Amino acid sequence: MKIKVLTISEDILGANKEKARQNQSRLDKHNILAVNVMSSPGAGKTSLILQTISGLKKKARIGVIEGDVASTLDANKVHELGVPVIQINIPGGCHLDANMMENALNNLPLEDIDLLLIENVGNLICPAEFALGEHKRVMLLSLPEGDDKPYKYPLMFTEADVVLINKIDLLSYLEFNIPAFREAVIGLNPKAKIFQVSCKTGEGLEDWFSWLLDDIGKMKRE
Ligand code: MG
Ligand code: ZN
């Protein structure tokens, strides 16, 4: 007897892609630039989002989607800055998908947003596989994680438009080889922009802000 093979994951990803396309055209209609921020837990996604709100709030209207397995801790911090935010909790889950994104979009004031920052679940694996409808993907890696991650989690780095090296203020305490890391990223993804930042001290964030403003501007002109 022939063994039956069910290719469920492919179907899930196919349906997810279609939903992601719908989300993106909805965002396009509202001229919203959506940025999917991915990293492992503790790399600094929430700190990056808080810094970005503070740095850009006079130049762009920002909205945030927070993805977490549990709690509203991160959404509370965003809310305190007076920015519209939706918390998505995924008990037992490990990534956001396009259906969750659609749900969040249904609950955000899309008319009042230029830049939508999406904090994905802290995980270097499957968030890279699930499109949400975002325009840009950002991979945040912090120095304590080590410079070997592009070799271990290549998809995440291959799919990223921007790679942010965070916690650069710790460089003198750690054995992190920046040139080797950059070379590994460029080997996988020659077009990736790489910025060195510290969400704690603010170092390097201006480059990240300019990159975002540039793309927000393009969104408005198109
Ligand atoms: Mg967080
Ligand atoms: Zn997952």
AA identity, residue 183: E
- pLDDT on residue 7: 56
Q: What is the pLDDT of residues 67-115, one digit of tens each?
A: 999 999 999 999 999 999 999 999 888 999 999 999 999 999 999 999 9
- pLDDT on residue 8: 56
Higher-scoring residue by pLDDT: 220, 58: 58
Number of domains making up the chain: 1
Sheet-wide strand order for 193-196: 85-89, 62-68, 115-119, 33-38, 136-142, 162-166, 193-196
Say if residue 215 is exposed, middle or buried (CB neighbours under 10 Å; 0-12, 13-18, 19+).
middle
Q: Closest-lying ligand to the alpha carbon of 97?
A: 2
- pLDDT on residue 13: 84
The gap between the terminal CA atoms of the chain, to the nearest Å, is 56
Residue 189: which domain range?
4-221
- pLDDT on residue 121: 96
Q: How many CA atoms lie within 13 A of 108 on its CB side?
A: 34
Q: Closest-lying ligand to the alpha carbon of 93?
A: 2
Q: Give the Å distance between the CA of 93 and the centre of ligand 2.
A: 6
CATH number where 92 lies = 3.40.50.300
Q: Give the Å distance between the CA of 127 and the centre of ligand 2.
A: 6
Q: List the structure tokens of 2.
A: 């022939």
Q: Give the Å distance between the CA of 36 and the centre of ligand 1.
A: 13
| Run of H or E residues at 35 | strand 33-38
Q: What is the mean pLDDT of residues 187-192?
A: 98
